[in-house]
Structure 1
């Protein structure tokens, strides 16, 4: 998101800051000056997703074959002129960005509601002005880029810091993205992705030096300006009164400038004429009304300092701000927030990671663990809980993340601890190497707090994470906290539970695989995992606290060292056994192994879905299988030219539901040591949104299977084989898949089985009068029973 108001200000008030450049010409000029260095552009991939997603259809779950082709063309264009691309993805949401992340997710919920209202009233896809990126786009873009041979990295903090740092350290041609923070960082040139013309390779370069000339500032002043204006770290309201005070005394206001523009000019004027006057003589907090916000403010300014850089505004250690280099860095996965802070060094990347703590932040939620419980419980946050769980101490550390020091009490608290509750989560602690503080605040020993105690396993997980080979695994093992962004789900449709609930039992089993070493040694208690999952009715005030779900594996579950490092055939069989166990499908192993790739992974997913969700019917199964088979014979051009009669809101949800299942497969596969090749469950091989929608509409109308399969006799045989595998596996769980005519919708308009004694995910919700239950129970208020979330 960047600096508040700066984008519009630059375009309207300082257009000379924006210069049209040709990237091919710049690359040639760069190569002439550095003949031994390939011109390289660092790409902030999260900023580029909307630019890359060019398929006309986006509502049906994603046109993945088209999207893959668009990415390939993008890469080829740069390769043809000798430019190398390095892609960075966000690998986490940092704690001080959580509020901003939540704000965006809740805003997206409103947009999704409007989308479904539009679909129901118009029966067509909304215009591009309501565009919402398909579920899983960021995740699968990582895998797509790797499949296309590109260097793809996932950040260990907010990606824009690592992007800016990489660009500076490697003398890159520039940064390609769409974030005004790249105007603030003192790094290589910043190019706009939104202005890029791929055919000519012309785009707009935004020059920070020209911006400084317009504002009467120096480049080193830009971080200060960014924080006074407000960014993703500093709330815009924090300095609102200060900005208006600057505006009231600013004598050069011009009527043709908008209000935001005048404020930026006024604050810049105050920095250049007032703050510069006393710079070096007075402390910054004496010149600015920082008050209780000074720790957060210093953190915000420090977040723009790249390795080796210092700020002229930090000439001594601010009093009372001892928490500045004590920030916790929880590793999580959602790809949708931006940027963060610098000051500790990652031993593998040799770069400083600036860190400080928000003096007012009290966001950590206590993890309440019942040592006697043998079942999954998403627990309510109990303010009176005083229980403590032993922490793991490793005497031979390898790498570190500092502990959080709460500014109001003089003691260290492990991450996952709230000083008001005094409740500890089981974590592992490692000492950290001493690193220089870029704000000259002295050297301190830092400690890493993680969920897993084995440094070798953590290093492997971290390596897979950094190289974009896994999904969520390192976040679970390092911080015990993950997130999942918005999905196209209709909050008014009570027949289908949210994907967050449907796939929760799978995630719980993955937690048990990854966190086995965190048991306290005296009981079967596992630490809980914080889940920030977006679903209708969730206000996101607190994370859902979810306990791992143990599995019974013949011969026992092997250690992660064996599972991840041992290449013996017997271990490979164990990997597959555990993967199937995560979906509770061990009894269908033989049938699934008889299915050819890539339909094997899809078949596994369909079995799980139809066992879990009572409201799926035979027509849905026909549509899923038919689209997967027909996709094998379709060219990209045929998929592009496919036209739909109308858009069905239920089919929209089902498309998103399946794609979220594919992302869940990515989690399970990476946690189990990659028993399946990633290519097996990539959506461009098994799913096309428009094609599925077409098959769904045909199946809903009662078309024969032969019509669904476009009269292809070879596909007909495969269809019946796949259907038999799914139906047989479901029957083992007493789940009989029936056609729509056997369902009882009554006046509610919901799908519900007339009689069911099952405890599937949706069985408590699909019956008449119960559909709202899962939507009304927000996080922090649920006391889920184990069988409420699993069928088995």
Structure 2
């Protein structure tokens, strides 16, 4: 995230540019100096790993315990009377697509290495931390939890997250930005940038960074830092695009420290910011020489884009407040945008209606296991029907979506997907579906009917019985039913039952109970089922958002349906012959299991 190697360079080689501080002390000083309340703007995505910490991730994640840690994080700032405003990533900005793809392919290689280690008998606890993968659904569970938390304000970005974070912090004169994205060290105008990786809520300390000290150490002016970041490599200009330039500085591949000082030497002669802008063609010719020689690429727009990304933008998008006919497609797009920004609807809903690319990151699935389909392929039918719901009213373009979905069986590439048409008479219109003031039985029935159609491609799943199921069980029944529709079948019936049972057990176990569970021997098939199931829950929440949330997403959250170690235990116990009745031990839960199984395996 951010400028490649900058965090390491500062912390190892530039001690004047960082310091350990007491969060309470600097917040008190801020109030004293400015007379304002202290607000921290949190880059949500860059904080997930630090908050998740040392919880188990290989088995699929420990969501209840993660939410407990997230609550402790929030309470730390609440005790200090510091307000929290969270920002989460919206659709990927297309100029960053090459770097996004690079990182997903790197994650896929790491996942292959994880499974190679597991196949060779390596214990889960011995897997190197550098291979860590944030459990699928943690980001979504975080957003769902925070939007109902009274101490937090949550936004989803339309532009690049770090740019909107800085804009908000500057415009609202906020106390600090909290995250782990070295772009914040380069940005102008922020009061403090605090590191989430170094936040110790027991001691109340963290690191803060000083961009002026960084510039002094490199013997450049602060105005040149965006150019330094661009030529070292960031989220817009990739390492691969700069590799020839970096090699040419030393006639070899430089070490991290060498690279920063060498790039600083390369740009030190610029007198001011205007001098840099006037010189962009010459800079690009020197930096991207091989590309220029063959006339293949004009890198000036790319470098411009990188430099501008470090300047907080202001104002609203052109035409955003223009009145339009009530039922026009542009009003639907604008409504989806506003609902996404305020964290009411998930990013993918706005992304589809606004003609953005749909994304599915790498999952913890085993490439060597050919008995399971790729997760991306398995859920394609569900996505196509969800796209159909979202594009039913669009007459301005073909009902086609472009996807970047990580697939264990092939290289990451853009795919074109045609949406499935919605059956005639089933769709009342997106504005009607999304309007939560319209909660009449008739409209609610339409939401449920579209949900069932999106899930199954028919209306054969008994809607009334699904509607009257406890809401926390809808997601697990929905995705387990979807498993039964797969052709050919790749899960055994007892494996699907195991998913249902672990959800019921999860509802009666607290975090202390979950912490006390012994981790059973690792079963690689069970890990693949967990990965498949968790991506399924994300797809179900996407569908539910598209049709107007007939079930609140707080009920659909992964927190309510899955714990990786618990599922592994239930799976192992079942495989070893322990009956489900002994595992549940409550008559009410047994009755629920009977109803859940009846719906899961329903064919009428």
What residue is the counterpart of 1:789 in the other structure?
none
What secondary structure does 1:550 align onto?
A: coil
Query: Alignment partner for residue 575 of structure 1, among 434, 442, 447?
Result: 447
Deviation at 1:690, TM superposition (A): 1.2
Change in CA separation of 1:561 and 1:12 when aligned onto 2, cut-off 3 Å = closer
Cα distance, 1:591–1:225 mapped onto 2, change above 3 Å: same
Name 1:24's counterpart in structure 2. 24
What's the counterpart of residue 47 of structure 2? 48
Work out whether residues 242 and 289 of structure 1, in 8 Å CA contact, stay in contact via their aligned partners in 2: no
Contact 2:2 2:234 in 1 (8 A): yes
Cα deviation, residue 171, structure 1: 1.2
Instruction: Give secondary structure in 2 for the equivalent of 1:20.
Output: strand
1:586 to 2:581 alignment: no
Residue from 218, 221, 225 that aligns with 2:221:
218
Q: Distance in 2 between matches of 1:278 and 1:726?
A: 63
- Runs of 4+ more than 4 Å apart: 237-248, 277-282
Specify the SS of the correspondent of 1:532: strand
Q: CA deviation at 1:74?
A: 0.5
- Aligned residue in 2 for 1:298: 304
Give the Cα–Cα distance (whole angstroms) in 2 for the partners of residues 696 and 533 of structure 1: 28
3-state secondary structure, aligned to 1:675: coil
In the alignment, which residue of structure 2 is the partner of 1:445?
none
| Separation in structure 2 between the aligned mates of residue 677 and residue 8 of structure 1, nearest angstrom | 42
Label 1:27 to 1:277 Cα distance change in 2 as closer, same or farther (>3 A): closer
| CA distances 1:338-397 after superposition (whole Å, capped 9, x unpaired) | xxxxxxx4259xxxxxxxxxxxxxxxxxxxxxxxxxxxxxxxxxxxxxxxxxxxxxxxx5
Correspondence for 2:422 = 551
Query: Judging changes above 3 Å, is the alpha-carbon distance between structure 1 residues 115 and 259 closer, same or farther for their aligned structure 2 residues?
Result: closer
1:623 and 1:192 map into 2 onto residues whose CA distance is 41
Question: What do the CA deviations read for 1:575-604 (whole angstroms, capped 9, x no partner)?
Answer: 111111111262221332342221133212
Label 1:283 to 1:247 Cα distance change in 2 as closer, same or farther (>3 A).
farther
Query: Do structure 1's residue 33 and structure 2's residue 28 form an aligned pair?
Result: no
What is the Cα deviation at residue 526 of structure 1? Answer: 4.1
Is contact 1:123-1:647 (8 Å) kept?
no
Bigger helix fraction:
2
Partner of 1:517, secondary structure, is coil
The residue correspondences of 1:207-356 to structure 2 (distance < 5 A) are 207-236=210-239, 238=241, 259-272=255-268, 274-276=269-271, 280=275, 283-285=278-280, 288-290=283-285, 292-307=298-313, 345-347=315-317
Q: Distance in 2 between matches of 1:307 and 1:502?
A: 40
Q: 1:259 to 1:724 in 2, by over 3 A?
A: closer
- 2:100 aligns to what? 101
Partners of 1:152 and 1:714 in 2: how far apart? 37
The SS at the match of 2:181 is: coil
Q: Deviations over 1:102-129 (max 9, x none)?
A: 1111111111112122223327424351
CA contact (8 A) 2:84 2:153 kept: yes
Q: Decide which of 301, 309, 331 is 1:456's aligned counterpart.
A: 331
Deviation at 1:398, TM superposition (A): 3.8
Give the superposed CA RMSD: 2.5
Q: Does 1:563 align with 2:423?
A: no
- Residue segments in structure 2 that go unaligned for 5+ positions in a row: 286-291, 293-297
Counterparts of residues 756-775 of structure 1 (less than 5 Å): none
Contact 1:27–1:82 under 8 Å retained in 2? no
Greater shift in the superposed pair: 482-491 or 660-669: 660-669
Report the secondary structure of 1:87's partner residue: strand
**Pairs within 5 Å for 1:602-617:** 602-612=476-486, 614-617=489-492
Instruction: Select the structure with the greater relative contact order (CA < 8 A; seq sep ≥ 6).
Output: 2
SS of structure 2 residue aligned to 1:668: helix
Alpha-carbon deviation of 1:643? 0.8
Q: Deviations over 1:127-166 (max 9, x none)?
A: 3513211112212211122232321111112211111221
In structure 2, relative to structure 1, the CA distance for the partners of 1:642 and 1:123 (3 Å cut) is farther
Contact 2:447–2:548 under 8 Å retained in 1:
yes
Q: Write out aligned runs for 1:523-542 (5 A).
A: 526-541=398-413
Normalised to the residue count of structure 1, the TM-score between the two structures is 0.69
Secondary structure in 2 aligned to 1:42? Answer: strand
Is the CA contact 1:244–1:263 (under 8 Å) kept in the aligned structure 2?
Answer: no
Change (3 A) 1:669 1:239: closer
Q: 2:149 aligned with 1:148, yes or no?
A: yes
Q: 1:177 to 1:278 in 2, by over 3 A?
A: closer
Q: Which has the larger radius of gyration?
A: 1
Deviation at 1:623, TM superposition (A): 0.8
Deviation of the 1:12 alpha carbon: 2.2
2:289 alignment counterpart? none
**Inter-partner Cα distance in structure 1 for 2:48 and 2:310:** 24
SS where residue 147 of structure 2 aligns? helix
Distance 1:281 1:721, change over 3 A: closer
1:663 match: 538
User: For 1:116-515, what aligned pairs fall within 5 Å after superposition?
Assistant: 116-122=115-121, 124-125=123-124, 126-127=126-127, 129=129, 130-149=131-150, 150-188=152-190, 189-236=192-239, 238=241, 259-272=255-268, 274-276=269-271, 280=275, 283-285=278-280, 288-290=283-285, 292-307=298-313, 345-347=315-317, 398=320, 453-471=328-346, 472-515=348-391
Distance of 1:191 and 1:726 partners within structure 2 = 47
2:223 touches 2:272 (CA, 8 Å); kept in 1?
no
TM-score, structure 2 normalization: 0.90
Paired residue total: 579
Q: In 2, Cα distance between the equivalents of 1:678 and 1:708?
A: 28
